[in-house]
Each structure stands twice: as structure tokens, then as C-alpha cells.
Amino acid sequence: MRVYNSVMDGLPLSGRTALVTGGAVRLGRAIALGLAARGADIALHYRSSEAAARETAEEIRRLGRKCMPIQADLLQTAALEQILDAAKSLNGNITILVNSAAIFERGTLAETTPELWEKTVAINLRAPLFLSRAFAAQTDSGDIVFLADARVRRPAGEYLAYALTKSAVVSLTRGLAVSLAPGIRVNAVAPGAILPPPGKGQAHVERLLPGIPLGRIGKPDDVVRAVQYLLEADFVTGQILDVSGGAYL
């Protein structure tokens, strides 16, 4: 079992620092707050949600944890290593990387332009890959958690670029779990119907209820608990933890 320096407050992630991309809003925010509640200090990446990042950072500090908001555009390749360098100034090496940031834009095969494809690949796949490379270069012991998507079992044609990049994230998770072992564990959480897309109402996800065996829409806390489990389960790597209530089976 790996041992990290602890502040001796009995919390399982004490003494650890997590970089959470897209951590100002939505699931990224919930994950950042959940990890802070279990003892981690947080490097909070955001792109444009500055006010939300400040608010989330204040909530984390009220939990007694350090938090550093870091603004960066994941479309810019040069920004990726700079994010890690900035995050390291919080406490030294980062030992948890949660790749949460993603875009979810509609586009069938006919509608998928080269611009949409390149933007989706850059944010959903290239950024997590190169952030993971930079993370592995600065620590020989830690955890990487990707956010995949349960729908990759049955990719939706109207979100083609998104589905393809999230399918690639599943392969990336399994590949890095082997190549970065034994020091760095790599896992992913694959949410189902949790939050509606930006600009959509709750009805957008509730229409999926008939296909969910557990009969309810998920909550952000369901995803948070899955991430926490993967960070604390020392004999688990290369796994895709489905958090969809049984949808897409």
C-alpha cells in the first residue's frame, strides 16, 4: 500500500494534492469538492468560468483545504505542461489527476465538420493524454482518473465526435494502467444520465428513464463516490467504473 504524508486528521486523502480539470462547474466541481472533503488540497483548472472557480475555491477553503484556481485553455497544447507546473506550486508534486474537462457538442456524421472534430479531440482526448504524460513525469506514485461515458457501449450517432473521443479515453485508461504500473494507478468513471447538457433542462435526461434498470436519474454525488473509491482502492487499476444505473447493458 502506498503511504502519503498525512496531516493526521483521519481523512483518507490527507496529505495529497489533486489537479481537477474543468473543476469549476458541473461534475468537475462536485469531484473537486468531494476530494477536498476527504482531505485533499485542490488545484482547480478552469477555462472561462472564473466566477464559478472563485466560488468553488472558497468552498474548498472553508473545508480547511488549500485551493489554487488555474486558468488555461486546453485547446492550447503549450498550456498543458504549464497547468501541471502551476499546480505543483501549491504543495509540490501532484499525486492525483482527475481529467474531468470535456465538451459535448452535437454532430452526426454529416454534421461533423473538421473544426468540430479537431476541437473535440483536442479537449476530450489530446489534453487528458498529455496532461497524464506531464503528471507521470513529475511523480512515480499517484493516481489518474479519467471521465469516460457509459454511452460508449452504444455510441449515439448524433454526438459522433464526442462518442469516439470517449471511446478512445477507455482505451487510453487501459493502456496507461499497464504502462504506468506499478507506481501510478489509472482508472476511469463512466457516468450515465446525471446532468443535462449545458442549455438543456432536466427533462432532457429524464427521457432516458425507461432505459435505466435502477429507475432513477443519477446524482453528481454518485460520480463523486465512484472517483473516491477508485482513489482509495489500492489493488484496482485499468478499470472503467460504470455509474449509469445499468443503462446501456
Tell me the backbone φ, ψ of residue 107, rounded to 5 degrees. Answer: 180, 110
Give yes or no for a contact between 15 and 208, defined as CB atoms under 8 angstroms apart. no
Out of 4, 46, 159, 162, which one is annotated catalytic?
A: 162
Of 94, 236, 104, give the one whose Cα is nearest residue 162. Answer: 104
Residue pointed to by grid coordinates 483518507: 12
Residue 143: its H or E element:
strand 142-147
**What is the distance between the alpha carbons of residues 181 and 62, in angstroms, rounded to a whole number?**
35
Radius of gyration in angstroms for the set of CA atoms belonging to the chain, rounded to a whole number: 17
User: What SS3 state is found at 196?
Assistant: coil
CA distances from 173 to 168, 204, 243 (A): 9, 29, 16
Amino acid at 235: F
Q: Would you state the cell numbers that stand for residue 248, as one nine-digit string?
A: 446501456
Q: Is 229 a catalytic residue?
A: no
CA distances from 120 to 32, 60, 74, 149, 159 (A): 23, 30, 11, 14, 10
Strand partners of residue 45: 70
Please identify every residue annotated as catalytic: 162
